[in-house]
Amino acid sequence: MQKWLKSIIILCSLLSCNTQGNKPDNKTNFNLIMPNTKAKATTKKLNLDVNEALIFLINILTNNTIANNIKIYTDEKINAFIMYFTPQQIDEMVTNIIKVIEIKKNIKDNIKILNDDDNHMPTHLKMSLINQLNEKLEKEINNYKIAIKIAANHESFDVAKINIQNIPITNITKIKDEAKRAVDVQNTIIIKANAKAIEAKLNPSEKDALKFITETLQDTTINKNNTIYTDTQINKFINYLREQQIKEMVENTLKALEEIENAKANIKILHDYKQQKAELSKQLTEEINNYKIAIKIAADHESFDITKINIQNIPITNITKIKDEAKRAVDVQNTIIIKANAKAIEAKLNPSEKDALKFIIETLQDTTINKNNTIYTDTQINKFINYLREQQIKEMVENTLKALEEIENAKANIKILHDYKQQKAELSKQLTEEINNYKIAIKIAADHESFDITKINIQNIPITNITKIKDEAKRAVDVQNTITAHLPNNNEKYAYALIYLTKTLPEGNSYTYDKFNIFILNIGLDKTKDMLTHLAKEFPKVSTTENAVMSYIKDISQKSKLNADLQEAHKDLQKSIRTAFSNGTLPLDAIKQNFKKINFHKFEEIKAQADLILKNQFP
């Protein structure tokens, strides 16, 4: 605002005069002032502008209010004056008068421009400026008229002609220049205000990009052979393009500035001792300067349309390359730093915590588990460790540490179980499945952008199923170690009976191996022995029958038939055992009595048939 007022004050100071307002010139024509036919004939040979200037001259020479101490020209003298000269001489005489008339019109046009503006100049300043211009113009026109009267006040028309055509019009020309400057200043103010209004509609990034372009176009140190834009040229450029075209023009520059800022930020991160930092910084400076030169060249055109297209099409490939190279350099540097920090953090963990963390890391990087979830890279792992630090890692792995302990205990107990036990294979399979499920849960828990949420998710994964398998394996081992191993001396019979029960009871039933193990552990060694006494006594019949059928009979048909009978006998026996045991819901004495009622007659019958076949086979 201060600059604007200053411009108005300067204009006003250029126009200091104190005369009255503008008065219109007298208008006339040759028919009214020149009855002489010969004079009329001369004027008909003149151009319109020369005729207008001659009328202006005649009005002055015949006006007794101008320099009234000098005699006016009579009509007779006017006729004589015109007829004295050739059309060429009249042209020469009125040359400056024509210029004065044109200048006066020009000044009036500029005053009208000033007067028509209602938005960019306070009314009192505008009217003061217009009045000063009008007053000064009237004064200088009046002085010019007086000078014409004086110049023509001579007996010799030749001298009068020379005097008139040599009257200087410098002061009138100065007023024209002053009026032009006033309009230029006003236009500058208007254009500047419009430019500011257009800029205000841009978003901050677009404003920055436009500022970069305009500062480049005004930079006197860049490509001096190209046009150096002035403030007015910049504002005209903005006014011409308007908001939408400016947005289009600056789009590429906006990207360039983003790339430059990213490159600078990454270069700043690089360690000072690295030669690459200095080289990248130098390259970036050169490419920024090259981009500015390209802007200067693109804008060195008379057409704002072409300038706009040229600027928006300047490639920024080299700037992008430097940004990418700086990013890669920072990534390499960060990878090294992050990896070293991760190792230092891991070193502070105890061995068990390290194992648990290793388990989690290997799971997150396993490409075979839940492929739909994020596969962590080494860098992501190291960033994760760096983010959590020692204490949070300890919290995160606490549950995994317990899971690994449960897994190891389960594996150890499963390994102890005798290989012939079906429960061993089933427990091993279940454990493998639950370990895999736990890994899947870790992958899902870590499939999150937030390391904080990932950490909480992992530490809250339940390990209930793993613990169940561990407990079941432990009970199976306890039955094996504390019951089976301490049965009576003829424990093969008891062991066979116990194994047969263990295998039989869960088949086709909701009853499980583990439930039977719990049952055995609950009743203890003595009661188990007591419960198995009858079965242990009878089960040798089963083994001897199977041995006779499978080992000694050679006839395939007979052997096959007896084997089928044997399988049916087993089914009946197993059904009887399940009925007698009743899933352990009966009192132990009732179960024992039920077991005593189980007979092995079918096995005895099959054994008798086998003996008969063997007798015939070996007469």
Q: Bigger pLDDT: 67 or 9?
A: 67
**Distance between CA 290 and CA 298 in Å, rounded?**
12
Identify the residue with better confidence: 517 or 233.
Answer: 233
Which residue, chain included where needed, has tokens 């439930």? Answer: 515
Work out the average pLDDT over 512-519.
78
Structural domain contains residue 25: no
Are residues 239 and 319 both part of a single domain? yes
Q: How many CB atoms lie within 10 A of CB 560?
A: 12
Tell me the residue range of the domain where 551 lies.
490-618
More confident position, 500 or 467: 467
Measured CA distances, 182 to 5, 20, 22, 64, 124 (Å) = 13, 21, 18, 35, 15
Instruction: Say whether both 502 and 609 belong to one domain.
Output: yes
Domain stops at, among 330, 364, 392: 330
Residue 443's nearest CA partner among 384, 388, 364 is 364
* Residue 304 CB-half CA count within 13 A: 13
Residue 326 has pLDDT above 80, yes or no: yes
Q: Do 393 and 378 share a structural domain?
A: yes
Between CA 169 and CA 94 the distance in angstroms is: 12
DSSP string, 82-140: HHHS-HHHHHHHTHHHHHHHHHHHHHHHHHHHHHH--SSS-HHHHHHHHHHHHHHHHHH
Residues 149, 44, single domain; the answer is yes
Q: How confident is the model at residue 327, as a pLDDT?
A: 93
Within a domain: 256: yes
Does residue 337 belong to any structural domain of this protein?
A: no
pLDDT value, residue 10:
37
Lowest model confidence (mean pLDDT) among 131-135, 189-193, 268-272, 580-584:
580-584
Does 198 map to a domain? no
Which of 191, 215, 248 is the C-terminal boundary of a domain? Answer: 191
Instruction: Assign 3-class secondary structure to 184-215.
Output: HHHHHHHHHHHHHHHHHCCCHHHHHHHHHHHH
Specify whether the CB–CB gap between 217 and 299 falls below 8 A: yes
Expressed in percent and rounded to 5, the helix, strand and coil fractions of the chain are 80, 0, 20
Centre a 10 Å sphere on the Cβ of residue 543 and count the other Cβ atoms it contains: 13
pLDDT at residue 209 in the model:
94
Q: Report the 10 Å Cβ neighbour count for 469.
A: 28
185-189, 233-237, 247-251, range with the lowest pLDDT: 185-189
Indicate if 80 and 185 belong to the same structural domain. yes
The SS3 call for residue 391 is helix
Examine residue 16 and state whether it is found in any structural domain, yes or no. no
pLDDT the model gives residue 181: 87
CA distance 277 to 263: 11
pLDDT at 16: 39
Nearest to 473 by CA among 417, 422, 401: 417
Q: How far apart, in whole angstroms, are the C-alpha atoms of residue 547 and residue 527?
A: 30
Residue 367: the pLDDT is 92
Mean pLDDT, rounded, of the chain: 86
Residue position matching structure tokens 């372009």: 213
Count other Cβ atoms within 10 Å, centred on residue 583: 13
Task: Quote the pLDDT of residue 603.
Answer: 83
CB atoms within 10 A of CB 404: 20
C-alpha pair distances (Å), 137 with each of 58, 82, 124, 279: 20, 29, 20, 66
pLDDT score, position 2: 46
Lowest average pLDDT, out of 215-224, 490-499, 511-520, goes to 490-499
Residue 316 pLDDT exceeds 90: yes
Same domain, 175 and 62: yes
Judge if 182 and 41 occupy the same domain: yes
Q: Is residue 92 part of a domain?
A: yes
Residue 30 has pLDDT above 80, yes or no: no
Terminal-residue alpha carbon distance, the chain: 135
**Residue 301 burial by CB count (10 A; 0-12/13-18/19+): exposed, middle or buried?**
middle
Domain boundary among 136, 157, 191: 191
Contacts of 266 (CB under 8 A, 6+ apart): 323, 326, 327, 329, 330
One domain, residues 147 and 257: no
The answer to the question of residue 543 being in a domain is yes
The yes-or-no verdict on residue 557 having pLDDT over 90 is no
pLDDT at 210 over 70: yes
Of the pLDDT bands very low, low, confident and very high (cuts 50, 70, 90), residue 197 is very high
Summarize the confidence of residues 292-297 as an average pLDDT: 94
In a shared domain, residues 180 and 42 = yes
Share of the chain above pLDDT 90, in %: 53
How far apart (Å, rounded) are the C-alpha atoms in residues 534 and 546? 19
Report the pLDDT value the prediction gives residue 487, as an integer from 0 to 100: 66
Same domain, 89 and 172: yes
pTM of the shown model: 0.53
The answer to the question of residue 225 being in a domain is yes
Same domain, 79 and 156: yes
DSSP 432-449: HHHHHHHHHHHHHHT-SS
d(CA 333, CA 614): 86
What does the pLDDT read at residue 5?
42
Please give the residue that has the higher pLDDT: either 7 or 206.
206
Least-confidence region, from 54-58, 374-378, 498-502: 498-502
Look at the chain and report how many structural domains it folds into.
4
Whether residues 450 and 571 fall in one domain: no
